[in-house]
Homo-oligomer: A and B are copies of this chain.
Amino acid sequence: MAEQVQLRVALAQVDTRVGDITGNAALVVDWTARAAQADAHVVVFPEMTLTGYPPEDLVLRESFAHASERALVELATALDEQGLGGTAVVVGYLAHTEGRGPAAVDEPPTADEDRPADANPRHGAPRNAAALLHGGRVVVRYYKRHLPNYGVFDEARYFVPGTELPVVRLHGVDVALTVCEDLWVEGGPCGVAGQAGVDLVLSPNASPYERAKDDARLPLVRRRAAEARATIVYCNQVGGQDELVFDGDSMAVAPDGTLLARAPQFVEHLLTVDLAFDPAAVPERREGRIGPMTVSRHVVSEQPVAPFEAQPGAVAEPLGDAEEVWRALVLGLRDFIEKNGFPSVVLGLSGGIDSALVAALAVDALGADRVHGVGLPSKWSSEHSLADAEDLARRTGLHYSVVPIAPMVDAYESSVELSGVAAENLQARVRGTLLMALSNQHGHLLLTTGNKSEVAVGYSTLYGDSAGGFGPIKDVPKTLVWELARWRNAYAAERGETEPIPRNSIEKPPSAELAPGQQDSDSLPSYEELDAVVADYVDRDLGMADLLERGHDPEVVARVLRLVDTAEFKRRQSAPGTKISLKAFGRDRRLPVTNRWRETLPTVREGARA
């Protein structure tokens, strides 16, 4: 057996903050020190570490891009000054490469010159970049080649794709960099790396959580490791950013597909993995043009590290589905609150399951002392409403108060004549106004408690129950709301803790309680039926023919689609909430408000040639 070359690699699965270049650079120094403490030779950070991800239109601000470039150079210096220059650091950043600057400010950019083909005409050439830092300097810069531009991603709006693959020899190991989406493409940079001949691919990622996505990642990384004929180290960020939550799930996979190490989900974590390479296993090491890319080779150090006793990598088990969703929602909520500097949250407690679940999430995210629940009974509220809300408050320990809404409702109704839906909505808006008043008076963030089923069909009052700065369960269908409530109670019971959610809130039939004896089932199909149609129509974009082929009741489909289509104006004004599904409402699904399209079965026109 040939002599082996070793390397200890650390994966810094950190929670960065969008726009906080200074803070993120400090985070890199801190975690590099921890990696050095663990005797790692190289540490990998997530995609766009310095800017946070996704920075959205900040990318188009030249001052921001220049600050990112400056911060990268200063970071290399700072690491070296703190004695960390010997640890190689792979860090993501926003690069601002040569290109046309923004158009002259006094003229519209379209006035006097043609646009460069297929580029953003208003800005230079920003890149989604990763750099390898060592010994106080920026050794190489890699520019992401494959730019996702679907779902929540707009990277074609921002970045120019890279065409170069630098390979760095570090302690005798040839290391290539790729960034996130590059890993999802067969024949992409990993294929080029495979042809060029490398030992190791280091990949910073910012891959948002979706249910079951962790099931896709490992097979994906395995395919790329085989294609690259190299070990792949995949470091994903963790944390919430507006609609997105990142679960981490960082891992290292050998060329033969062996999972060497895997980080736990939804927590910051330093994962180390000890690797050994057989230099003879790479038959040829090439440079120059390979496929669509140009490979260059760089040397930091030929000398292998002194042999050390390799430790087996830790392999975290992925979480079960319900726990995974729960932790995603808790982290998405917590990070929105903490990163935006809110001291506390407030929400209306109806005694129903949605507000109970949001309250339990908020207590898990912030602790009971930062959560304020308000009962807002009306004349149509049932007896159990207040009792269940009080029970929830007792179980979770949140702050609880009650403000009956009758005096306000009466004042409006004495001033203007209202009936039907207008009168129902009034009650919801009085509640929204009261909660916003408490938010303004005390600095609480108001949480809105609408679930995905309601948001889909517009079963909510604009500026009423939809009021709020964040919607923790906006992407959670009602059937999953119940499932999560049961899971959370069972989780508590297993640990001998109080079940946070009153069983009555879980078991009673859902009602908006805006009219006497009202139940959701008066105006909606069963949530089982509704959620199944929403999953197919919204998440999977199926048309009428496919929906019927999937076995849905034609009448239910027609009803649900009409509601979904006409509720777009409400969703356009809704608060952000954590995405957990294949397609969440928000950036992920961009439909016009003004839209005449309605799904029908295609009719074949007489005499038409199709």
Chain A positions near chain B (C-beta within 8 angstroms): 17-21, 23, 52, 54-58, 60-64, 66-67, 70, 73-74, 77, 81, 102, 105, 108-112, 114-118, 120-123, 137, 146-147, 149-151, 154, 156-157, 161, 181, 184-188, 210, 212-213, 215-216, 219-220, 223, 240-242, 335-336, 339-340, 403-404, 407-408, 410-412, 414-419, 421-422, 425-426, 429-430, 432-434, 436-438, 440-441, 462-463, 467, 469, 536, 540-546, 550, 569, 572-576, 582, 589-599, 602, 605, 607-610
Contacts and interface: CB of A to CB of B under 8 A. Distances in A.
B242 A594 contact: yes
Contacts of A414: 407
A54 B592 contact: yes
26 contacts: A56-B592, A57-B589, A57-B591, A62-B543, A63-B545, A77-B607, A102-B540, A105-B550, A108-B582, A110-B213, A114-B186, A115-B184, A117-B187, A117-B188, A118-B149, A122-B151, A149-B156, A340-B569, A407-B414, A410-B411, A412-B433, A412-B434, A418-B437, A418-B441, A422-B437, A576-B593
Given A111-B212, A216-B108, A593 B340 contact: yes
A545 B67 CA distance: 12
Contacts of A184: 110, 114-115, 121
Contacts of A467: 462-463
A533 to B, nearest CB: 13
Contacts of A114: 184-186, 220, 223
Contact of A441 (B81, B419, B598): B419
A447 to B, nearest CB: 13
A295 to B, nearest CB: 18
Given A115-B146, A416-B434, A422-B440, 15 more contacts: A20-B596, A58-B595, A58-B597, A63-B544, A73-B610, A112-B219, A114-B184, A114-B223, A120-B149, A154-B154, A154-B590, A340-B593, A411-B411, A417-B441, A421-B440
Main secondary structure of the interface of A (DSSP, over half): loop
- The listed residue with most B CB atoms (<10 A of its CB), out of A74, A81, A414, is A74
Contacts of A596: 17-20, 23, 52, 339
A429 B463 CA distance: 9
A381 B391 CA distance: 44
Contacts of A105: 536, 540, 542, 546, 550
Given A154-B154, A441-B417, A582-B108, A574 B573 contact: yes
Nearest to A608: B74
A605 B74 CA distance: 7
Given A149-B149, A425-B436, A56 B590 contact: yes
Nearest to A337: B594
Contacts of A74: 605, 608, 610
Given A157-B150, A440-B425, A241 B541 contact: no
Nearest to A588: B57
B146 A118 contact: yes
Nearest to A121: B150
Contact of A408 (B63, B112, B122, B415): B415
Name which of A150, A467, A610 has the most chain B CB atoms within 10 A of its CB.
A150
Contact of A108 (B57, B210, B469): B210
